[in-house]
Structure 1
């Protein structure tokens, strides 16, 4: 009888541990079961080098969303970035989406600089103005190989 009780407690402890691991992995990974509380905005960049799916989106220094997908548009020769934001977040339609780096050599993320318009963007709308990522290598090579005569 006592052996069955110990086995039950061990099994319960193992199930609790597995549940905790699943919960932590979903929470840390930023995954969600449904997309019901989010809406998507689109930003097109000439260069989205270093930006990855799942990277964060920031407004006023606060993380408000995630990069849903990054695709290439062969007709416009641009990268198309889909941004997933919570429904509680409103973005004025004259806002600017730019790719920034967290720290000196950190990960890339999208920063949304809010505009002054009273009209907000709706699901599926595209940013009018974007700023691509800055490549340190390109800046250094332009500086090193430019010759002022």
Structure 2
């Protein structure tokens, strides 16, 4: 009976460890459970400049979504954003690719517009600002063009 109790406690301990690892993986990976309430919009940038799938989408510094996918379409970056369904984007909203800090990760900042018309699910953010390419700026500075 003593051996059975030992095997049972080891089994329970291993099971709890696996559950803890799964929970931590889901939390760190920011995987939404249950799909979440979100809708998709797209934005076309001339360059995605280091933007990654899963990057945050912010409005006023508050996370409102994430980057779902980035593909090349007509030699431009077509970025699909998953936006929280509680957030309504105006037709004249502006999407910008920004960097957290000097060399931090890239994210998308949405500046709300003033229009009464809203972007529906599957719609497109028409106003975009491409990211500042620090390598180009430094190169121009070295060459004396700035």
**Which TM-score applies when normalising by structure 1?**
0.89
Question: For 1:20 and 1:100, how far apart are their aligned partners in 2?
Answer: 34
For residues 145 and 120 of structure 2, the distance between their equivalents in structure 1, rounded to whole angstroms, comes to 48
Shift of 1:68: 0.5
SS of aligned partner of 1:54: coil
Other-structure match for 1:136? 134
Structure 1 stretches of 4+ moved >6 Å:
none
Q: Which position in structure 2 is the counterpart of 1:56?
A: 56
Structure 2 CA distance for partners of 1:100 and 1:147, relative to 1, 3 Å:
closer
How many residues align? The count is: 146
What does the per-residue CA deviation read over 1:33-88, in whole Å, with 9 as the maximum and x for residues that have no partner? 554521111010011111111111111101111111111112xx311000111212
Normalising by structure 2, we get a TM-score of: 0.91
SS at match of 1:20: helix
Gaps of at least 5 residues in structure 1 are none
Report the secondary structure of 2:77's partner residue: strand
Match 2:107 to one of 97, 106, 109: 109
The Cα of 1:22 is off from its aligned counterpart by: 0.8
C-alpha RMSD of the superposition: 1.7
Q: 1:126 aligns with which of 112, 124, 127?
A: 124
In structure 1, the partner of 2:20 is: 20
**CA distance in 1 between partners of 2:53 and 2:100 (Å):** 16
Task: Name the CA distance, whole Å, in 1 between partners of 2:127 and 2:96.
Answer: 9
The 3 A distance-change label for structure 1 pair 147 and 131 is: closer
- 1:98 Cα offset (Å): 0.3
Give structure 2 stretches of 5+ with no counterpart: none
